[in-house]
C-alpha cells in the first residue's frame, strides 16, 4: 500500500464479524505519517494523504455510507471510483 501514491484501501464491512470495531481502529489507532483527523461529535474522520487533500481510505468512518448501507463487493466495485472522483474534484470546503 502506497499512501503517497494513488492506492486506496476500500473497507468492505461484513456484519457481525467485528467490522465496526476494526473500521474504527483504521481511522483512530493506525500510526501514520498523517493520522486521520477525528473530531469529537463527528461520525466521520478525514483521512488525507500527506501533502494532498485526497483520501486514502474508503470506509463508513471516513466517507460515510457513500455506496449504501452495508454495500457488498459488487456495489463497492461499481460505486467507489465515481464517489472518489466526485470527492477529489470537488472544491475544498472552508471549515466553519
Q: Which of 70, 72, 78, 88 is catalytic?
A: 70
Phi first, then psi: give them for residue 8, nearest 5 degrees.
-135, 130
Which three three-digit cell numbers place residue 11? 473497507
Strand residue runs (E) in 50-91: 57-58
How far out from the chain centre does Cα 6 lie? 14
**13 carries an active-site annotation:** no
Catalytic residues: 70
Amino acid at each position: 500500500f502506497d499512501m503517497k501514491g494513488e492506492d486506496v484501501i476500500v473497507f468492505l464491512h461484513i456484519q457481525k464479524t467485528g467490522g465496526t470495531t476494526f473500521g474504527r481502529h483504521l481511522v483512530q489507532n493506525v500510526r501514520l505519517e498523517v493520522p486521520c483527523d477525528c473530531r469529537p461529535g463527528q461520525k466521520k474522520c478525514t483521512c488525507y494523504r500527506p501533502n494532498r487533500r485526497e483520501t486514502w481510505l474508503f470506509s463508513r468512518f471516513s466517507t460515510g455510507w457513500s455506496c449504501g448501507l452495508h454495500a457488498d463487493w459488487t456495489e463497492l466495485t461499481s460505486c467507489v471510483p465515481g464517489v472518489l472522483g466526485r470527492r477529489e474534484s470537488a472544491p475544498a470546503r472552508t471549515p466553519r
